[in-house]
Amino acid sequence: MSLSDAQIRGLRPRPTPQKVSDGGGLHILVSPTGSKLWRLSYRFGAKQKTIALGPYPVVPLAEARQKRDEAKRLLRNGTDPSHHAKIEKIRAQIATATTFGAVADEYLSKAVREGKAPATIVKKRWLVDLVRPDLGVRPIADITAVEILATLRKVEAKGNYETARRLRAIIGQVFRYAIAISAASNDPTFGLRGALTAPTVVHRAALTEAKAFGGLLRSIWEYPGAATTRIALQLMALLYPRPGELRLAEWTEFDLDRATWTIPARRTKMRREHRKPLPAAAVTLLRDLHRLTGKGRLAFPAMHTTSRSLSENTLNAALRRVGITKDEATSHGFRASASTLLNESGRWLADAIEAELGHVGADDVRRAYHRATYWDERVRMAEWWAAEICGMKDGTGIASRLKTSNCSAQIDL
């Protein structure tokens, strides 16, 4: 027999609990204290079970019946309503207690455990901190695309289009981590693709014409400042690594007898170990450098402490000191100079040049092929490029006519 609201209101407490049925397993339990609690009895897996649906009148009759019908639907689909209710309770607790800021901190801690480069962690943390005032205390599951876009628009309004783009990316990374730990069900940033103003791409300044590059080489070979800074710039020209790979280099990475430099995975952009052949000129420079800094861990320590490396600002400031403007060249620009001139020479396979630059992709087979097939060519290319450096620096024309490279012989420590 179905109940009515009037009947439920008229129920009076008794010395012992009483159950009053509404049908279909739904009943109201009247306790001796007078409380009225909805319960649903059902069978699942050959067991009799009961689930609480809430107190009356907080849960009115119509809502209790809706919950009964939903439980029946779950049973038809083979789901235990009691288990489903527990999962939903946990999900609700996570949604209300897990803020964007808390999940972002977890994500950053995971990046640290995975060995991401310190510079990468600093950048990620800086970006997350930019959005904490707007999103930090919000339950991450409740954040919408509209809220995120409003936050990004504030950054865009200042003309910081690239920062806004990176913010969208880091917010998306946090949301995808949240999905993985069941703190969110979707990534709202996906729908924001194309909503932001595209930044104008500004390439790092580099000299890619041989005559102009030769002028740069003469300037750094004659650099009047600290010998360690001068050698760093000379090795940037000879080896064209990423500036951070050279500045943070440790002496254990160099095998000068075998003329190789093994850059550990933690410092490479691709997070994979990268081995580079050293031309004779580079080996000579490194032996000279070892006499200056070889007692320490770092090949290029800072001027006033051996615990920190030379900064990229130091290298760029050295270029400014010899008259090279920021619009002409930067320390990173040596990579573009070498890439352009090596490709234009027509002497070397493009894949060998890409392998030397550390641009090998993620495919394991292709990466192994690059290492095995192009190493000998990269060794020859390293010596040719060192000779070419001398030719451009000295203005003698085609350096490949030289039998050896003696750039280092012209350095006075």
Tell me if residue 393 is catalytic: no
Catalytic option among 116, 138, 165, 359? 359
Alpha-carbon dihedral angle through residues 119, 123, 128, 131, given to the nearest 10 degrees: 160
Tell me if residue 370 is catalytic: no
Tell me if residue 42 is catalytic: no
Catalytic option among 86, 266, 269, 366? 269
User: Can the peptide bond before residue 57 be classed as cis, meaning omega within 30 degrees of 0?
Assistant: yes
Are 35 and 18 contacting, i.e. CB atoms less than 8 angstroms apart?
A: no
Catalytic option among 335, 370, 378, 393? 335
Tell me if residue 242 is catalytic: yes
Residue 229 backbone dihedrals phi, psi, to 5 degrees: -65, -40
Beta strands in 280-343 (DSSP E): none
What is the token pair recorded at 128?
A: 């997350």
Residue type, 392: M
Tell me if residue 84 is catalytic: no
Tell me if residue 332 is catalytic: yes
Catalytic option among 67, 68, 168, 242? 242
User: Which helix H or strand E contains 255, and what residues bound it?
Assistant: strand 254-255
C-alpha 264/C-alpha 282 separation (Å) is 19
Are 388 and 402 contacting, i.e. CB atoms less than 8 angstroms apart?
A: no
Residue 369 backbone dihedrals phi, psi, to 5 degrees: -65, -45
Are 141 and 185 contacting, i.e. CB atoms less than 8 angstroms apart?
A: yes
Q: Among 128, 188, 194, which residue's Cα sits nearest to residue 163? A: 128
C-alpha 217/C-alpha 106 separation (Å) is 47
Q: Among 360, 390, 368, which residue's Cα sits nearest to residue 279? A: 390
C-alpha 233/C-alpha 381 separation (Å) is 20
The alpha-helical segments, DSSP class H, found in 98-157 are 100-113, 118-135, 145-156
Catalytic option among 67, 247, 332, 370? 332
Catalytic positions, please?
242, 269, 332, 335, 359, 369
